[in-house]
Amino acid sequence: MADMKQYVNDVLELVKKRDPNEPEFHNTVKEVLTTIVPVLEKNPQFKDAKILERMVEAERIVTFRVPWQDDKGEIHVNRGFRVQMNSAIGPYKGGLRFHPSVNLSILKFLAFEQVFKNALTGLPIGGGKGGSDFDPKGKSDNEVMKFCQSFMTELVRHIGPNVDVPAGDIGVGGREIGYLFGQYKSIRDAYDAGVLTGKGVQYWGSLARTEATGYGLLYFVKNMLDAKGIDLKDKTVVVSGAGNVAIYAIEKAQSFGAKVVTCSDSNGYVYDPDGIDLAAVKEIKEVRRGRIKEYAETHKNAEYHEGCKGVWTVKCDIALPCATQSELDLDAAKVLVANGVKAVGEGANMPSTLDAIEYFQQNKVLFAPAKAANAGGVATSALEMAQNSERLQWTFEEVDEKLKGIMKNIYEQAKKNAETYADPDDLVAGANISAFVKVANVMMAHGLV
Ligand code: NDP
């Protein structure tokens, strides 16, 4: 039998050689491929069909110029991207990120993750990701609109309800999706509601989409804890971030009776021993687009600390990184473990570094990996596409019930495959294996395309 570990190493080397300057992409490919060796051993046909070599190469990548004019009349030029990674299971699907750190390595890592995450949902969506190095922070509504219109003027050629369906991500929320949709509609002269998800409810967005990633994370974590007889009630929870994912993770954790004591933005974190006042966070971040620092000015027991890393030094039972990639490293993992953390659930994409994950697993911390635990957002986006196809809108409760069922199913698949192929609590391997097998089988069925 061929040595599948060697095969995986060869593919990793190939990726590094082809794209030496893409560390984030290398990391995610390594994380997935090293956990699927037992499946490759049982299914040598995947190696013969060069499934891994095909999966690590995007089906298509477009990069483009995005010129726009600010309120003072000055012209700026940003770079736009769309990575169409894999369409085996359905149209490319994945968010757009507007953040100065955006580059091809980050978008390829996110697109690669998205392929497997989307497969886990059990819904008909392939994987993609896109965005720009544009920074919406500090820009006026008019400037954001101008940028979105210019971005869509090019992107329109590459997307469509049955081709590629973008959504939001960091820096792209309801406002940006609105401007992007308006421009798409204007150029195409057609009301293709299903071309973008995360739309406003008044123009065919799905109820519960805003809440879905954060709620879904908590549904997943609850399934994982229930299986071990651990109750979320009265547990102390540390959350990072104060954006879409973090806010609705806090909301659901609180509704389960947990006490959330932190949240953060890219400048620093707040610790509130009385429990985070979510209405105040929503007011600061969603209404005023302000900084989390302001929270401490109105909450007398709360402390504000400059810098984000310190959030992991707060003693807790459960940690939920919900801000960005690589925000929780080995040092942070060591402090969390020393402070008695029982479970970690990833709301952001790849927030824990590979050595941090390994450390959690060595120390028997229950670990819910991003591609499974935060799949509720994209799953609900697929439900939005379904509603758009039938030109109907479901109730909040209907969507939320479906989301709960999807998260339970993802947990059960990951657990079953962990028990079959790896350590029974290794949900990283379990989720990767579930997703890989689905995508690989469909690629085999489609032949060499
Ligand atoms: P938002 O833009 O709404 O919020 C992001 C939050 O993280 C903000 O509080 C932001 O602070 C903080 N942040 C951003 N970059 C950094 C950084 N470099 N260091 C520290 N903090 C940072 O994004 P989302 O909540 O939508 O996304 C958060 C994460 O969840 C991302 O990894 C995203 O890919 C992932 N995700 C999102 C989904 C969704 O449905 N929205 C679905 C699945 C995954 P600041 O305001 O200072 O920028």
The residue whose C-alpha atom lies closest to atom 4 belonging to ligand 1 is 243
pTM here is 0.96
- Contact 185/149 with Cβ under 8 angstroms? no
The answer, yes or no, to whether any atom of ligand 1 lies below 6 A from the CB of 114, is no
The residue whose C-alpha atom lies closest to atom 46 belonging to ligand 1 is 265
Per-residue pLDDT tens over the stretch 399-411: 999 999 999 999 9
Under the banding of pLDDT at 50, 70 and 90, the label for residue 330 is very high
Per-residue pLDDT tens over the stretch 202-248: 999 999 999 999 999 999 999 999 999 999 999 999 999 999 999 99
The answer, yes or no, to whether any atom of ligand 1 lies below 6 A from the CB of 166, is no
Pocket test for ligand 1, best of 169, 199, 240 (most atoms within 8 A of CB): 169
Under the banding of pLDDT at 50, 70 and 90, the label for residue 158 is very high
User: Which atom of ligand 1 approaches the CA of 173 most closely?
Assistant: 3
pLDDT for the residue numbered 2:
66
Cα of 348 to ligand 1 centre, how many Å? 7
